[in-house]
Amino acid sequence: MELKIAQKIKGSPEEVYRALTNPFTIQLWTDEPAIMEEKAGTDFSILSGNITGRNVEFIPNQLIHQVWYFDGLESEVLIKIFPDKAHTRIIVEQTGIPEEAYENILKGWKESYLGPLTDFFEA
C-alpha cells in the first residue's frame, strides 16, 4: 500500500529541511537522540530507533528520499518540501507498506513525526 500526507509548517523550506536532516535539530523536536547524516548511502535512526533506514538522496531544501526498514521489509519514503507563502508545505509519500501495518504507520506519521515537527515550529 502507499500513503500521501500533506502538512503546512510555519518556517522556511531551509529551516524545515534542516529540522529533518540535522541530528541535533531532530533531537529538539523528537526529544530523542538521532543518528542522521545528510549523505546518500548512510544509515539513520530516529525516535529511539523506532524509525531506521538508509538515506538515498538529498536535494537541499526540496527533497529527502529514504528507505525505511520495519519487520524485515523496506518501504520507500519521499519527503517533498515546497515554499507556501510564509510557510512550508511538506508532502510525504510512502510506498511498500504492508496492508496490516498501514493504519499504524499513518498514525505514526501524524502523531510522532509531523505533529511534533509542526509543534516545534509553532513554539
Q: How many domains does the chain have?
A: 1
User: And the C-alpha cell for 89?
Assistant: 508545505
State the DSSP string of the chain: -EEEEEEEEES-HHHHHHHHH-HHHHHHHHSS--B--SSTT-EEEETTTTEEEEEEEEETTTEEEEEEEETTEEEEEEEEEEEETTEEEEEEEEE---GGGHHHHHHHIIIIIIHHHHHHHH-
Q: What does the pLDDT read at residue 123? A: 81
Range of the domain at 67: 2-122
Q: What does the pLDDT read at residue 70? A: 82
Q: What does the pLDDT read at residue 77? A: 98
Across the 123 residues of the chain, what is the mean pLDDT of every consecutive 10-residue run?
96 97 96 96 94 97 96 93 95 95 94 96 89
CATH number for the domain spanning 76: value is 3.30.530.20
Q: What does the pLDDT read at residue 72? A: 83
pTM for this predicted structure: 0.95
